[in-house]
């Protein structure tokens, strides 16, 4: 079964600092990977996705992620964090074309210090 691991439960960064959130997926021939963000009391908002092609993908709100097959990773990055980025971030895997069940990591809660 597919699995997604987010090693960091909680990360705190200062506003303006860079950010990297880690995500590892279990082996899959065709990973379809996503990052979602959830603000308190809100649903999940799609930040970006990777299906194929360029391994560096750009998303909304200034986020990007890099797919590294050799490391089974899909880490989320942002060069300069804003206070409004404080939220919980979820990495998810669709387990390849034809599948439809998203498998989520446990999430990483991001706190931003002013």
CB of 14 to other proteins, least distance (A): 28
Compare residues 72 and 104 and give the one whose CB is closer to other proteins. 104
Residue 96 CB, nearest approach to other proteins (Å): 10
Q: By C-beta, is 45 or 80 nearer to other proteins?
A: 45
Nearest CA to 51 out of 67, 73, 38 is that of 67
Binding region for other proteins (CB under 8 A): 32, 34, 36, 41-46, 49, 51, 90, 92, 94, 97, 100-107
**Shortest Cβ distance from residue 68 to other proteins (Å)?**
21
65-70, Cβ contacts within 8 angstroms, sequence gap of 24 or more: 65/33, 65/35, 67/31, 67/33
Tell me how far apart the alpha carbons of residues 21 and 4 are, in angstroms, rounded to a whole number: 13
């Amino acid at each position: 079964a597919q699995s997604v691991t987010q090693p960091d439960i909680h990360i705190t960064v200062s506003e303006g600092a860079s950010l990297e959130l880690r995500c590892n997926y279990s082996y899959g021939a065709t990973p379809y990977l996503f990052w979602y963000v959830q603000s308190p009391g809100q649903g999940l908002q799609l930040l970006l996705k990777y299906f194929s092609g360029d391994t560096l993908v750009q998303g909304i709100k200034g986020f990007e992620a890099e797919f590294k097959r050799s490391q089974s990773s899909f880490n989320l990055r942002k060069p300069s964090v804003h206070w409004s980025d404080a939220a919980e971030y979820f990495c998810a895997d669709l387990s390849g074309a034809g599948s439809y069940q998203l498998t989520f990591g446990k999430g990483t809660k991001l706190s931003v210090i002013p």
